[in-house]
Amino acid sequence: MRRPADSGRRRALIGVIAAGGIVLATLVPAFGLPQYYVSLLTQTCIYGIAAMSLDLLVGFTGLVSFSHAAFFGTSAYITALLLTRYGVTSFWAALVLALFGAAALAALFGLLAFRGEGVSFIIITLALNEIIWGLAYQWVDMSGGDNGITGFQRPVIAGMHLTGTPAYYLFCLAALVVCAGLLVTIVRSPFGLVLRGIRERPRRMAALGYPVNRFRYAAYVIAAVFAGVAGVLFAYYNEFVGPVNLSLDTTVQILIMVILGGTGTLLGPLAGAGVVVFVSNALSNITQRWELILGAMYVVILLYARDGLVGIARRVWRAAGRRAPAAPTHPALARENPEAEP
Amino acid sequence: MATFYAQNVLGGLAYGSLLFLIAAGFTLIFGLMRIVNIAQTAFFLIGVYVGLMLLNHGVPFWVAVPIAGAAVAVLGLLIYRVLHPYHADELTSLLLTIGFTLMLEDAALAVWGGDPQSVPPPPALAFSVQLGTLVFPSYWLAMIGISLLIAAALFFVERRTTLGAVIRAGVDDEEMIRGLGIDVDRAFFIVFAIGAFLAGAGGLLGGPITGAYPGLDGELLPLAFAVIIIGGIGSLEGAYIGSLLIGLVGTFGKALFPQLSYFTIFVPVAAIMALRPQGLLGKKR
Amino acid sequence: MARVMRYVVTAAVVAVLAMGTGPAARGLAAGATPLKIGLLAPTTGVAAAPGHDMINGWKLWWAQHSTTVAGTAIDTTYYDTGSNPNQALTQARRAVEQDHVNLLIGPYLANEGLAVAPYAEEHQVPLFLPTVSADDLTQRKASQYVIKVAGWSSSQTTHPAGGWAYDKGYRKTVTIGDEYAFAYESVGGFAQTFTEKGGKVTKQLWVPLGTTDFSPYLSQVTAEHPDVVFVCVVGADAVHFLQQWTSFGLKAKVPLLVQETVTDQSSIRTLPPEDVVGIIAFSHYAEGRDDPATQRFIANYANAYHALPSYMAAGFFTAAEWIQLALEQVHGDVADQQAFLNAVRTVSVPDSPFGPQRLDPYGAPVENVYVRQVQRTPARYAGDAKTWNVVLKTYPGVSQFWTYNPAQYLKQPVYSNTFQGIAK
């Protein structure tokens, strides 16, 4: 039986580590690394937000969504279009409109996606992703097609020019911290606990009177909004948006970050994002066959390290004699799961 | 005007017939094993390349087709050996097939290079037929017939053989079938191999229409999904009708609304998703 | 067993990360300031074949000439753009920010080029474009850093086509183009000059990139009964188009004129001669051009690679020559970027595989445009390629503005699917 002091101490430890991590991350630009690495860290922050938001669906709600890049990319496109075609200059205006667009798209997709469960959901979200991609690729008048949209600059916020690599990195880091904080709050909230219950025992939750599909729908839209945040950050980072940014390839890439990091952990997918960004860049430096190696790595990880990096960390932690806590779950299911924290 | 319609109807049917060869394997594998085989179009791609290699070495077209199919079936079996323990876990098996797809795509690039290549049709069908004012390549017409024959053969197997019975039963209730002592595992291997064979043979059969190039599999995959959603997961007849439908809609879409042609393919898909999620001929789950 | 595998996997991931950041990735250690060149080429993806040609052409020049020019070592690092503008941009970033290259050369696709160009300008890194032909990069969006060394512009080769077609007696045309900037510009060049002479463009078909089935579009062509059809498609699309142009009976019935990418070596290499022989293209390059510089180049290329070179190979080969000449002009001093760029702009190549080339003030080449035709290769090259392009007519010294006054020309917008320069 765990004593309350243990979990209090563990929480404090995690808090200290997190704070330390944030401070360290903030100081990275001062380390004198080539700008290129700071640039990769920026990508890690951006994709980290996207991956964490997908984890909200996959790891916490049990929804394997193959449409995530649709929201990431649509938000990026909206940002780019507003800046180049509609003369919007304010970052905040672009952000609000892009997030609204992502949410609206998710609301629309959700009407179709939740007509099926399990694999049907996967197939439908995949098809929806392809529809959006097809529009971006072919509706050239709107999206520029394969040429993409370019010709806009990084924002100026509160008088600060974010054009330089370190400046934009710090901005994305701040966004990551804010989004992570919000996501952690969501998963620990009563709403989050309901989602977890739905992931574990959907029929039970339905029997208890929860409108399961409505909660799923809500989670789907919320996740899309966070993916939208990542999309806006990405557009400014890349200064170029193209169909590939909402393609199935990108959806799969984000999903792999989640799986690699460990589903249902939020931190795991963030680490997963870092690994994927750095490894794919490092590999392509060494060999032309980097995609083959990456594919092989994914297969190996799926076979032998299914719960991802966090799972590996937990096993190491346990091997060292400590007990890792189980994830919290909905009170109604807690009785079946004595290790869980209510 | 009549030429316009005739050409597009025939073109659509030909393309749809090609899609069936992919969709059939896809739906068989999913129907029995609940595995979403993302690598199905990659199997098709390997089939075109292997077939082309055989043709370049002088193997006659109709001999090369089953050989290409067999080669891909062997590849499929190797892959399935890794997948089999996870066949009950839909997500893991799907993710594994994604990993294999990435590997297969790059391996194909490494082995056969990146130049787009054309696949010659068999010499007997290298001519074009004249139908009134319409000129149409005879191989495309043959494609329609070939696909129909394969569809018929598959229906026969499904309806009239023990394997087919197991497949149909397995789709409904795996545990029950095991309980009856039928070797379901072997059926799984066989069906995956058949699915891979169809894609591989289909690759060479479709090659004269699609050509061989990196990225072909990525372009076909969403169409395969569109077919499955419309036709219904697990239904061979649905796959056949869905394929022809998608072929026709796609072709007319391109002719009439080029910038939205992709969208026009997916509008019926979205409609089916909304109104009849199990597809036209699928079973309600 | 499973646990061991997990540790192995983690160790492997860490090792790969470490390798990626180690010395191998950092490039040449500093000596006398070398000229570090980042060569962006797609070696994977849809445009992998052109990418390999680009690298082959580049390497061929340096195999024949020392990589130390006027005391300065030339150090090339190759980056795979993946036929994808996103990746091209990431690679450009890596080249500039991690590997500190002095200049970028490449990439291939128009959209890759359009993604990299603003980045290069922002970071003040010269970007040489032997293969990216997007018109605007040396027109309304011209910059001192972006130079089409040994390159071309999309509409440069097609402007002459309009007049040529009209003089042949054609009056009505239907155009087919891939739905993106390169094709808009190529078709636009033809459409403008053809209609200015009095011809009519009755229909314009834009096909999505990646089209494998052209039959819906070909059905519309036959319905219009044009005198001539003008086409601009690329890569795999070119291969499919040519096959189906024959098999749907149009090759026998309707004259065809194309932009050079359609009958480029990289496309016709893999097609049976019957599908391509006789097709006329407008280009800045022809492998069969009867000229010592061209023939020497293709003979060497055939020797080295057992294939005939495409324009991408010729472009990178000639760009290498260009860089060598510029370096010699500044006596190997790469520290003064402005002087080097000025040298690049003032180099002229009296005879390259393309013919004579020099740059105009906007950074685009002034060069020959050829009316060329696909024919079977002569016996000496029959083992390397089945068909090649032979020159029918030469328009010497064509600029990106054709015969228009540059200031006037720049007042019209860049060609797009809404503006094709069609004279009313």
The encoded tokens of residue C148 equal: 């089409």
Contact between B255 and B15 (Cβ < 8 Å) = no
Please give the share of chain C, as a percent, with pLDDT higher than 90: 67
Q: CB-based contact (8 Å) between C418 and chain A?
A: yes
Output the pLDDT for position B285. 46
- Distance in angstroms (rounded) separating the CA atoms of residues C312 and C48: 12
Return the top range by mean pLDDT from A312-316, B125-129, C191-195, C419-423: C191-195
Nearest CA distance, C151 vs chain B (angstrom): 22
Res. A284: pLDDT tops 90? no
Q: Which of B114, B250, B261 sits opposite C49 (nearest CB)?
A: B114
The encoded tokens of residue C106 equal: 């490449």
- Distance in angstroms (rounded) separating the CA atoms of residues B172 and B176: 9
Please name the residues between 262 and 291 in chain C that touch chain B, using a CB distance below 8 Å. 266-267, 269-272
- Average pLDDT for residues A72-99, to the nearest whole number? 94
What residues are paired with C283 via a beta bridge? Answer: C370
Cα B95-B99-B105 angle, rounded to 5 deg: 140
Looking at chain B, which residue has its C-alpha nearest residue C249? B135
**Terminal CA-to-CA distance of chain C, rounded, Å?**
77
- Distance in angstroms (rounded) separating the CA atoms of residues C298 and C57: 10
Contact between C191 and C162 (Cβ < 8 Å) = yes
Q: What residues contact residue C55 under an 8 Å CB cut-off, 6+ apart?
A: C39, C41, C43, C78, C316
- Give the model confidence (pLDDT) of B236-267 as tens digits: 899 999 999 999 998 898 888 877 777 888 88
CA atoms within 13 A on the CB side of B252: 13
The encoded tokens of residue C283 equal: 């280009």
Q: Which helix (H) or strand (E) holds A157?
A: strand A156-157
The encoded tokens of residue B52 equal: 């082309």
| Residue whose C-alpha is closest to residue B134's, from B285, B42, B5 | B5
What is chain B's Cα-based Rg?
Answer: 19
Output the pLDDT for position C120. 94
C368 SS3 class: strand
The encoded tokens of residue A91 equal: 């970052």
Given pLDDT bands bounded at 50, 70 and 90, which one contains residue C81? confident
Please name the residues between 193 and 212 in chain B that touch chain C, using a CB distance below 8 Å. 209-211
A239 SS3 class: coil
Neighbours of A97 (CB within 10 A): 18
The encoded tokens of residue B92 equal: 């893991």
Q: Is the dihedral of CA C297, C301, C303, C306 positive or negative?
A: negative
**Are C222 and B3 a contacting pair at CB < 8 A?**
yes
- Distance in angstroms (rounded) separating the CA atoms of residues C185 and C232: 9
Q: Which residue has the tokens 């160790």?
A: C11
Res. C295: pLDDT tops 90? yes
- Distance in angstroms (rounded) separating the CA atoms of residues C228 and C407: 32
What residues are paired with C397 via a beta bridge? Answer: none
**Regarding beta strands C280-283 and C365-376, do their DSSP bridges make them parallel or antiparallel, or are they unpaired?**
antiparallel
- Average pLDDT for residues C27-41, to the nearest whole number? 70
The encoded tokens of residue C261 equal: 């990418």
B117 SS3 class: strand
Using CA atoms of C338, C344, C345, C350 in order, give the dihedral in degrees to the nearest 10: 160
Q: Which helix (H) or strand (E) holds C74?
A: strand C72-80
**Regarding beta strands C127-128 and C72-80, do their DSSP bridges make them parallel or antiparallel, or are they unpaired?**
unpaired
Q: CB-based contact (8 Å) between C212 and chain B?
A: yes
Q: CB-based contact (8 Å) between C356 and chain B?
A: no
The CA-atom distances, in angstroms, between C112 and each of A6, C83, C85 are 55, 7, 4
- Average pLDDT for residues A262-287, to the nearest whole number? 89
Res. C107: pLDDT tops 90? yes
| Residue whose C-alpha is closest to residue A224's, from A92, A50, A78, A79 | A50
- Distance in angstroms (rounded) separating the CA atoms of residues A24 and A28: 6
Q: What is the pTM of this model?
A: 0.86
Output the pLDDT for position C1. 52
Residue type for A320, please?
A
- Distance in angstroms (rounded) separating the CA atoms of residues C325 and C323: 5
- Distance in angstroms (rounded) separating the CA atoms of residues C423 and C119: 36
Q: Which residue has the tokens 């069969």?
A: C288
Looking at chain C, which residue has its C-alpha nearest residue B254? C216
Please name the residues between 158 and 217 in chain A that touch chain C, using a CB distance below 8 Å. 165
Neighbours of A31 (CB within 10 A): 9
Q: CB-based contact (8 Å) between C15 and chain A?
A: no
- A71-75, B61-65, C412-416: which has the minimum mean pLDDT? C412-416
Contact between C31 and B96 (Cβ < 8 Å) = no
Given pLDDT bands bounded at 50, 70 and 90, which one contains residue C30? very low
- Distance in angstroms (rounded) separating the CA atoms of residues B46 and B220: 13
**Are B270 and A137 a contacting pair at CB < 8 A?**
no
Residue type for A164, please?
G
Q: Which of A140, A242, A304 sits opposite C2 (nearest CB)?
A: A304
Task: Report chain C residues whose CB lies below 8 A from the CB of B215.
Answer: 45-46, 210, 236
- Give the model confidence (pLDDT) of B152-197 as tens digits: 999 998 888 887 887 776 656 667 777 777 777 888 899 999 999 9
- Average pLDDT for residues C30-40, to the nearest whole number? 79
Output the pLDDT for position A27. 83
- Average pLDDT for residues C341-360, to the nearest whole number? 91
The set of chains that have 3 or more CB pairs under 8 A with C is A, B
What ipTM does the predicted assembly reach?
0.84
Q: Which residues of C331-345 are buried (b: 16+ CB within 10 A; e: fewer)?
A: ebebeeeeebbebbb
- Distance in angstroms (rounded) separating the CA atoms of residues A291 and A272: 17
Cα A304-A306-A309 angle, rounded to 5 deg: 95
C336 — phi, psi (to 5°)?
-90, 95
- Distance in angstroms (rounded) separating the CA atoms of residues A47 and A253: 9
Mutate to test the interface with C, among B13, B52, B104, B135 (most CBs of C within 10 A): B135
Q: Which of C5, C16, C86 sits opposite A282 (nearest CB)?
A: C16
Given pLDDT bands bounded at 50, 70 and 90, which one contains residue A340? very low
Neighbours of A19 (CB within 10 A): 10
Res. C263: pLDDT tops 60? yes
- Give the model confidence (pLDDT) of A248-260 as tens digits: 889 999 999 999 8
A194 — phi, psi (to 5°)?
-60, -45
Task: Report chain A residues whose CB lies below 8 A from the CB of B30.
Answer: 119
Mutate to test the interface with C, among B1, B17, B115, B262 (most CBs of C within 10 A): B115
C366 SS3 class: strand
Please give the share of chain B, as a percent, with pLDDT higher than 90: 51
Return the top range by mean pLDDT from A198-212, A263-277, B58-72: B58-72
The encoded tokens of residue B105 equal: 């795509």
**Regarding beta strands C200-207 and C228-232, do their DSSP bridges make them parallel or antiparallel, or are they unpaired?**
unpaired
| Residue whose C-alpha is closest to residue C81's, from C27, C126, C35, C132 | C132
Res. C374: pLDDT tops 50? yes
Polymer length in residues for chain A: 342
What residues are paired with C327 via a beta bridge? Answer: none
Given pLDDT bands bounded at 50, 70 and 90, which one contains residue C398? very high
Q: CB-based contact (8 Å) between C179 and chain B?
A: yes
Res. A341: pLDDT tops 60? no
- Distance in angstroms (rounded) separating the CA atoms of residues C188 and B245: 36
| Residue whose C-alpha is closest to residue C371's, from C261, C286, C295, C274 | C286
Given pLDDT bands bounded at 50, 70 and 90, which one contains residue C46? low
What does the DSSP 8-state code read for residue B120? P
- Distance in angstroms (rounded) separating the CA atoms of residues A273 and A48: 5
Neighbours of C300 (CB within 10 A): 16
What residues are paired with C174 via a beta bridge? Answer: C203, C229
- Give the model confidence (pLDDT) of A90-139 as tens digits: 899 999 999 999 999 999 999 988 887 777 888 889 889 988 998 898 88
- Distance in angstroms (rounded) separating the CA atoms of residues A262 and A186: 18
- Distance in angstroms (rounded) separating the CA atoms of residues B217 and B200: 12
C285 SS3 class: coil
Mutate to test the interface with B, among A63, A108, A126 (most CBs of B within 10 A): A126
Task: Report chain A residues whose CB lies below 8 A from the CB of B36.
Answer: 119, 122-123
Q: Which residue has the tokens 């002091």?
A: A5
CA atoms within 13 A on the CB side of A335: 1
- Give the model confidence (pLDDT) of C327-345 as tens digits: 999 998 888 899 999 999 9
Task: Report chain C residues whose CB lies below 8 A from the CB of A285.
Answer: 20, 24-25, 94
- Distance in angstroms (rounded) separating the CA atoms of residues C138 and C153: 8
The set of chains that have 3 or more CB pairs under 8 A with B is A, C
Dump the DSSP string for C87-117: HHHHHHHIIIIIS--SEEE---SHHHHHHHH
Q: CB-based contact (8 Å) between B128 and chain C?
A: yes
- Distance in angstroms (rounded) separating the CA atoms of residues B280 and B261: 22
- Distance in angstroms (rounded) separating the CA atoms of residues A276 and A260: 9
The CA-atom distances, in angstroms, between A159 and each of A155, A163, A175, A237 are 10, 12, 18, 18
